[in-house]
Amino acid sequence: MNPGSAALSGLLLGANLLNYLDRQLFLSMFPLFRGRFHLSDLWLGLLASSFTAIYVIVAPLSGYLVRRFPVGRLLGSGIILFSLGMAISAFSRDTVTLFMGRMLTGAGESALTTLGPLVILGKNVVRPGNRLGYFYAAIPLGSALGFGAGALFPGMMDFQRVLLLPVLPGLLAGVFLWRVRLEEEMPDRASRFFYLSSRDRALTPWGRVGLSFFFQTAGTFVLGGMAAWISIYLTRIKTFDLSFANALTSGSLVLGGVTGMMLGGVLLDRERRRDPEAWGRMVIAAGFAFAAAGIATVLLCHGKGSVAIGLAAASFGLFLGIVPVNWMILSAGAPVLTAPLLGWSLLITHLFGDLPSPTLIGWASQGFGLDVSLAVLLLLPVGSALALALFSRPGWVASRAS
């Protein structure tokens, strides 16, 4: 398989779809898990955070492992692992195995998220925004499929068995990638496992990397909080039916999320044609502005139409900046450098993003109510990221090589 080939891109897009379908399918049925396992809001938050805890630990290791092991084996192993984790969750009968399944799923998905973008881009990057846009479009599309399945299938079968839907295709994709040679997708192996040369350290645009970490942390905090709590919020506060709430969330992700993701990649490529050093500052700022407006609409309005518009606007905004924000890291150097940086990015952004956000929202909900908790803990990071994007200086993100 050649770098950037259509077949490889399609396979990785499909695997990423399963990745995010796994995540949101589980979260969409949180109210059902709450009843079956008698979980409090705090324990629901911990269940969501258990996935992220393992995810962020394994992510940096995946970035370093690519220096020593074939990338196809690493990707295949990760996909097989997260598929097995979903199967364990589907048959769990106590909280211990339920948590174990989620943690195993998190470990497997971190390998795909860390290494997939590097393989998608290949060695010769012509239109990075377009390529990354297709790969990352799986985030809203897979999430929408997960919420859609969570709305449709629990009425037809035991809701835990619905978690088996992505298992077989995931196992097949993982075995295929395990057997395919992808060594040509990556440069020569690094001579040392955790070593970063003085030249690489000198040429790395650390200001750009740091800004990317912050933007991703803010967006991930909000996305994680919304993913874990939106179904409960819409059923408890807005008194929507659970199936309708999941269908509404699914439709909003498709309409707003996919549009935002693809448009963000197109706008990044357009900026880079004018200025090769461009990183999409105004695209990122516009995304957080849309997100803030959408979240406020959902919290303040009660009509189903208004809530739907707010969810679509929030999804559009949160996904609009994902491609530019990831390009800030992917453009920092060679893959042997950017793979570990992507891993550390996942560690930092999830450690301070969607790892604590479900638990923090659940904790604040018990003291102040879910509506107040969401208003404060979703709008504060979005507003901070918007301000930083608007007032950042060119010197902070300039390439050291230039």
Residues 331-378 pLDDT 10s: 766 666 677 788 888 888 888 987 789 889 989 998 898 889 999 999
110/77 Cα distance (integer angstroms)? 11
Using alpha carbons, list the distances in angstroms from residue 15 to 3, 161, 173, 348.
Answer: 17, 20, 7, 24
Specify whether the CB–CB gap between 215 and 284 falls below 8 A.
yes
| Burial degree of 14 (CB within 10 A; 0-12, 13-18, 19+) | middle
- All residue ranges of the chain with pLDDT < 70 are 1-5, 122-126, 154-155, 182-205, 332-337, 393-402
In the DSSP assignment, the letter for residue 162 is G
What is the model's pLDDT at position 64? 80
In angstroms, the first-to-last Cα distance of the chain is 34
pLDDT of residue 326: 87
Residues in contact with 341: Cβ distance below 8 Å, sequence separation at least 6, in sequence order: 63, 204, 209, 329, 332, 333
Closest CA to 260 of 308, 319, 311: 319
Q: What is the pLDDT of residue 115?
A: 85
- What pLDDT is recorded for position 219? 94
**Cα 248 to Cα 242: distance, rounded to the nearest angstrom:** 10
pTM of the model: 0.74
Return the pLDDT at 216: 93
Domain 6-186+199-397 fold: Growth Hormone; Chain: A; (1.20.1250)
Given its phi and psi angles, is residue 125 left (phi above 0), alpha (psi -120 to 50 degrees) or beta? beta
**Domain parsing of the chain, residue ranges:** 6-186+199-397
Residues 6+ apart with CB under 8 A from 172: none
Which amino acid, residue 236?
A: R
Q: Cα dihedral sign for 299, 301, 307, 309?
A: negative
209: which 2 tokens? 């990397």
